[in-house]
Amino acid sequence: MKRVQFGHSPVPYLFVAPQIIIIAIFFLWPAAQAVHQSFLLEDAFGMSSQFVWFRNFEDVLSSPSWLKSAGFTVVFSTLVAVLSIAISLFLAVRADEVIRGAKVYKTLLMWGYAVAPPVAGLLGIMLFNPLMGDLYILFNKMGLDFNHIQNGNDATFVVVLIAVWKQVSVNFIFFLSGLQGIPKSVTEAATLDCKSPERRFWTITFPLLAPTTFFLMVINLTYAFFETFGIIDVSTKGAPGGATATLVYKVYVDGFLGADMGGSSAQSVLLMIMVSVLTVFQFRFIERKVHY
Amino acid sequence: MYQSKWRSLTNHVILILGSLFMIMPVWIAFASSTHTREFLFQNGLQFLPGGHFFENYGKILFDQSATKGRVTALQMLFNSMVLGLGFAIGKVIISMMAAYAIVYFRFRLAMPLFWVIFATLLLPLEVRIVPSYEVVAKLGLLNSYTGLILPLIASATGTFFFRQFYRSVPDELLEAARLDGAGPWRFFIDILVPLSVTMIAAIFIIMFVVGWNQYLWPLLMTTDDQLYTIVIGIKQVYNSLYEGGQIPQFPKAFALTIMASIPPVLVVVIFQRMFVRGLVETEK
């Protein structure tokens, strides 16, 4: 907070009012609604509902399809986060070294931020279209027996590939700015002491980028949880048999297409808890980074 | 800095491969969007552009019957523009004001309100999507620009960004302004806003792109075709690809994909420096 501030007056309330009103209507109310509904069981016609304590949660947590989806979400998020971070770190280190054409490379590697996830999903799934998709045809020519429409692992491969493609640019931007924040004197001293660029990377650069990497890990996990909705909805739609349905996608399918309000709300509440933990974790970490 | 020839060569090879990895899918989509659907159906996706660019794009931009929903791509682009700009403008104004109150005033509810705003970061719209939809339906805001934009503004990313920035503004400015007799409104309009111009620009660019690319919320909100954004339009066309037993309309889907991507990509590329700065600063 500031040392010098304006004193008591109604003015600050006027300034926060727009944000607080919007939050109250479109955030607090729905969130409360979700918690409330997660304790209710509606009858088949949606005419009446009954308070059932934690039954919806028990149902969700013991349902095989939710557990399957939770398992997929963990695998998917980890793969997406690790792969996209690794690829973009690799590219950022090289882009930081080149002198000729540096600007062009940077632009070519960062515009992907502006592509909407469903657009990425559509581009990707077209390349895997069994009729004409180049990658689908290529993989099968290589004798891989690739079929993402029936095989869950192949479908996972497709959504991971698309999600990684979409995320590389964001990570690249952060790594590049992290690399540019390393003092020139440090890099120059390291060059004098150690000729091998690989060793220099692992002993100097990577430890210095550790805070950035850790921070990106959290960002990427959040991305894989939520923002990949568009990718999945346009590419696999959770097929085959829910093998590529993330938890967020399942909330949508059960709540809107399946009209199971109680179950869907209970899923929402569980997700809220998970995200809260993730965010609090992120904030604690950032606080530490500031002091460091 | 010393660099071996070999290292320099591999750098370029790796960066070119990386760039190709990013560009190829979009290039294939563009090249394929300029062929007839019969040609694509027989020959697969294309690496080289064909001769039907104006025909395909013109049709989808201006001819209502070209899309399933009887809405032209021009209308969808307009809707996306409204969403992108409305989202960005709304978010900038609201979060600047809220952050100003929190940083520059001493008032009783400051802490509780700050925590309420913070809480929105914990629960993205995707998690509370079903109840949010019900609330908007109850308010009669389905199929309206208001219902499309306002709920998206609820999250507080912008407020934190401006809070961070205001705190870095020297205290002496406020002291000086108060000595000169400036009140809270004057200080905000005449000093703080002009001081934040580059920050506003940076966050505006990011929010425009984020707003333009919204998917889940517009998908639920808009059942009226005339309100489809271009990103939603893609899905509709893609869903109806195989309908009616005709030859799939791949060029149309690709053309929409390209048109949906051009405006945000242009914004990011043109304002690259500002955009990068805004992104790196907000997430901190």
On whether the CB atoms of residues B91 and B207 are closer than 8 A, the answer is yes
pLDDT on residue A100: 83
What share of chain B in percent tops pLDDT 90? 21
- All residues of chain B having their beta carbon less than 8 Å from the beta carbon of residue A91 are 14-15, 18
**Nearest chain A alpha carbon to B7:** A197
Collect all residues with Cβ–Cβ distance below 8 Å to A74 and sequence separation of at least 6: none
Contact A124 B265 (CB under 8 A): no
pLDDT at residue B87, rounded to an integer: 94
Q: Which among B120, B123, B149 is the top mutation candidate for probing chain A, defined by the most A β-carbons within 10 Å of its own β-carbon?
A: B123
Of A280 and B166, the structure prediction assigns the larger pLDDT to: B166
Of residues A93 and B44, the one with the higher pLDDT is: A93
The answer to whether the CB of B130 falls within 8 A of the CB of A255 is yes
Q: Using a CB-CB distance cutoff of 8 angstroms, which residues of chain B are in contact with residue A120? A: 25
What CATH number is attached to the domain comprising B210? Answer: 1.10.3720.10
Contacts of A232 in chain B (CB under 8 A): none
Phi, psi of A100 (to 5 degrees): -80, 130
Interface of A with B in 56-115 (CB under 8 A): 87, 90-91, 94-95, 97-98, 101, 105-115
pLDDT tens across A96-139, in order? 888 888 889 999 999 989 999 999 998 888 888 887 778 888 88
Concatenated DSSP letters of chain A:
--SS-B-S-SHHHHHHHHHHHHHIIIIIHHHHHHHHHTTEEE-TTSS-EEE-TTHHHHHHHH-HHHHHHHHHHHHHHHHHHHHHHHHHHHHHHHHHH--TTHHHHHHHHHGGGGS-HHHHHHHHHHHT-TTT-HHHHHHHHTT----TTT-HHHHHHHHHHHHHHHHHHHHHHHHHHHHHTS-HHHHHHHHHH---HHHHIIIIIHHHHHHHHHHHHHHHHHIIIIITHHHHHHTTTTTTTTTT--HHHHHHIIIIIS--HHHHHHHHHHHHHHHHHHHHHHHHHHHHHHH-
The confidence score (pLDDT) of residue A259 equals: 67
Task: Summarize pLDDT for B222-261 with one digit per residue, the tens.
Answer: 888 888 888 888 887 777 776 656 677 788 888 888 999 9
Which range, of A61-75, A267-281, B202-216, averages the lowest pLDDT?
A267-281
The amino acid at A19: Q
A39 or A81: which leads in pLDDT: A81
Band (pLDDT 50/70/90 cuts) for residue A2 is low
pLDDT band of residue A292 (cuts 50, 70, 90) is very low
**Sorting pLDDT into bands at 50, 70 and 90, what band is A291?**
very low
Q: Which residues of B touch A89 (CB under 8 A)?
A: none
> pLDDT exceeding 70 applies to what percent of chain A?
91
Mean pLDDT of A63-78: 89
CB contact under 8 A, A25 and B139: yes
Nearest to B215 among A3, A174, A230 (CB): A230
Average pLDDT over residues A141-162: 84
The mean per-residue pLDDT over the stretch A256-279 comes to 78
Confidence of residue A285 (pLDDT cuts 50, 70, 90): low
Q: What's the confidence (pLDDT) of residue A78?
A: 92
Give the closest residue to A83 by CA, choosing from A19, A144, A163.
A163
Residue A28 CA to residue A236 CA, distance in Å, equals: 33
Per CB-CB distance under 8 Å, the chain A contacts of B174 are 2, 4-5
**Do B7 and A187 lie within an 8 Å CB cutoff?**
no
Q: How far is A142 from chain B (nearest CA, A)?
A: 18
Q: What residue numbers bound the domain in which B16 lies?
A: 5-282
- Of A145-149, A172-176, B10-14, B75-79, give the lowest mean pLDDT range: A145-149
CB contact under 8 A, A112 and B22: yes
CA A100 to chain centre: 34
Structural domains present in chain A = 71-291 (1.10.3720.10)
CA separation, residue A83 to residues A116, A166, A229, B172 (Å): 20, 12, 19, 47
Evaluate if residue B2 carries a pLDDT over 70.
Answer: no
Per the CB < 8 Å rule, is B107 touching A12?
yes
Mutate to test the interface with A, among B215, B228, B269 (most CBs of A within 10 A): B215
Give the total number of structural domains in chain B.
1
A 10 A CB-CB count for B240 gives 16
| Pick from B33-47, B58-72, B113-127: least confident | B58-72
Query: Is pLDDT above 60 for A1?
Result: no
Mean residue pLDDT across chain B: 84
